[in-house]
Structure 1
Amino acid sequence: MRRLSLIAMAVAVLATGCTMAPKYERPAAPVSANFPAHGVYATQPVATPDGARSANGVAAADIGWRDFFVDARLQRLIDIALKNNRDLRVAMLNVQAAQAQYQVVTTLLLPSITAVGAQSKTRKPDNLSFLNQTISNTYTVGLNASWEIDLFGRVQSMRNQALAKYFATAYARKAAEISLVSQVAVQYLQVLQTDDLLKVTHQTLASASESYRIVKLQFDNGAASELDVSQAQTVMEGAAANLQAQERARAQAVNALVLLLGEPVPDDLPGGMPLDGQDLLADIPAGLPSDLLLRRPDIMEAEQNLLAANANIGAARAAFFPNISLTGMLGTLSPTLGGLFKAGSAGWSFAPTITLPIYGDQFANLEYANIQKKIEIANYEKAIQSAFKDVADGLAARGTYDQQIAALVRDTAAQQRRLELSTLRYKQGVDSYLGVLTAQQDLYSAQQTLIAARTQRLANLVTLYQALGGGWIERTGDAPRAADAG
Structure 2
Amino acid sequence: MIKTSLTPLAALFILSGCLSMAPDNEQPELPVAQNLTISEQETDVAEQLMLSEWQNFFTDDNAKALIAQALEHNRDLRIATARVAEVKGRYQIQWEEFIPGFRGEVSQTRGRDLSTFTGGSVMFNRYDAQVGLVSYELDLFGRIRSLSDAALNQFYATEQAERFVKISVIAETANAYYSWLSAKENLNLAQQTLNSRQESLDLIQKRKDNGIASDLDLAQAQAALAQVSARKSQLERLYTVSKTNLELLIGTPLNQVSMTDSQQMPEMMSLELPDNISSNVLLSRPDVLAAEHQLYAANGNIGAARAAYFPSLRLTGDFGFASNEFDSLFDGDSETWTFMPSISVPIFGNALNAQLDVAKAQKEQMVASYEQTIQQAFAEVYQLMVNRKSYDDELNANLDLVKAQKRRLYLAEAKYKAGLASYLEVLSAQQDLFAAEQAKLESERARLANTVTLYKALGGGDTVSQ
**Paired position in structure 1 for 2:131:** 143
Q: Would you say how many aligned residue pairs link Structure 1 and Structure 2?
A: 445
CA contact (8 A) 2:20 2:303 kept: yes
Query: How far apart are 1:162 and its partner, in Å?
Result: 1.0
2:32 counterpart letter in structure 1:
V
Which of 220, 232, 236 is the matching residue for 2:225?
A: 236
CA contact (8 A) 2:17 2:139 kept: no
1:268 counterpart letter in structure 2:
S
Which of 432, 445, 451 is the matching residue for 2:435?
A: 445
1:338-379 alpha-carbon deviations (Å, 9 max, x no partner): 986677443211100000011151111111000000000011
Q: Secondary structure at the match of 1:349?
A: strand
**Paired position in structure 2 for 1:321:** 310
Matched, 1:380 2:381: no
User: CA separation in 1, counterparts of 2:227 and 2:93?
Assistant: 65
1:17-416 aligned within 5 A: 17-38=18-39, 61-117=50-106, 140-146=128-134, 147-265=136-254, 266=256, 268-272=258-262, 274-275=264-265, 277-285=266-274, 287-293=277-283, 295-333=284-322, 344-360=333-349, 361-416=351-406
Structure 1: 5+ residue stretches without partners? 1-13, 45-56, 474-479, 482-486
Q: Secondary structure at the match of 1:251?
A: helix
Q: Secondary structure at the match of 2:438?
A: helix
Q: Secondary structure at the match of 1:350?
A: strand
412-421 or 240-249: bigger deviation: 240-249
Query: How far apart are 1:85 and its partner, in Å?
Result: 2.2
CA contact (8 A) 2:311 2:343 kept: yes
CA contact (8 A) 2:47 2:280 kept: no
Cα separation, partners in 2 of 1:365 and 1:336, compared to 1, 3 Å: farther
2:225 counterpart letter in structure 1:
M
Cα separation, partners in 2 of 1:59 and 1:426, compared to 1, 3 Å: farther
2:132 counterpart letter in structure 1:
N
Cα separation, partners in 2 of 1:76 and 1:390, compared to 1, 3 Å: same
1:28-70 alpha-carbon deviations (Å, 9 max, x no partner): 110011224258xx8x9xxxxxxxxxxxx99654322233221
Cα separation, partners in 2 of 1:357 and 1:131, compared to 1, 3 Å: farther
How does the TM-score come out when normalised to structure 2? 0.86
CA contact (8 A) 1:141 1:333 kept: yes
Cα separation, partners in 2 of 1:278 and 1:318, compared to 1, 3 Å: same
308-317 or 246-255: bigger deviation: 246-255
157-166 or 225-234: bigger deviation: 225-234
Query: How far apart are 1:472 and its partner, in Å?
Result: 1.4
2:378 counterpart letter in structure 1:
F
| Aligned-residue RMSD, C-alpha | 3.1
CA contact (8 A) 1:317 1:366 kept: yes
Q: Secondary structure at the match of 2:133?
A: strand
Query: How far apart are 1:166 and its partner, in Å?
Result: 1.0
Query: How far apart are 1:90 and its partner, in Å?
Result: 2.2
CA contact (8 A) 1:61 1:468 kept: no
User: CA separation in 1, counterparts of 2:24 and 2:182?
Assistant: 53
1:426-461 alpha-carbon deviations (Å, 9 max, x no partner): 222222212211111111111111110111011101
How does the TM-score come out when normalised to structure 1? 0.83
User: CA separation in 2, counterparts of 1:94 and 1:321?
Assistant: 34
CA contact (8 A) 2:320 2:335 kept: yes
User: CA separation in 2, counterparts of 1:186 and 1:217?
Assistant: 46
1:193-245 alpha-carbon deviations (Å, 9 max, x no partner): 11221222122111111111122333344443333222212221222222233
User: CA separation in 1, counterparts of 2:247 and 2:170?
Assistant: 14
CA contact (8 A) 1:72 1:271 kept: no
Query: How far apart are 1:82 and its partner, in Å?
Result: 2.3
Structure 2: 5+ residue stretches without partners? 1-14
Cα separation, partners in 2 of 1:355 and 1:435, compared to 1, 3 Å: same
**Paired position in structure 1 for 2:453:** 463
Cα separation, partners in 2 of 1:33 and 1:113, compared to 1, 3 Å: same
CA contact (8 A) 1:105 1:159 kept: yes
Cα separation, partners in 2 of 1:32 and 1:180, compared to 1, 3 Å: same
Cα separation, partners in 2 of 1:180 and 1:352, compared to 1, 3 Å: same
User: CA separation in 2, counterparts of 1:356 and 1:303?
Assistant: 34
171-180 or 336-345: bigger deviation: 336-345
CA contact (8 A) 1:394 1:464 kept: yes
1:313 counterpart letter in structure 2:
I
Cα separation, partners in 2 of 1:34 and 1:85, compared to 1, 3 Å: same
CA contact (8 A) 1:61 1:472 kept: no
User: CA separation in 2, counterparts of 1:97 and 1:407?
Assistant: 52
Among all aligned residue pairs of Structure 1 and Structure 2, give the percentage whose two residues are the same amino acid: 37
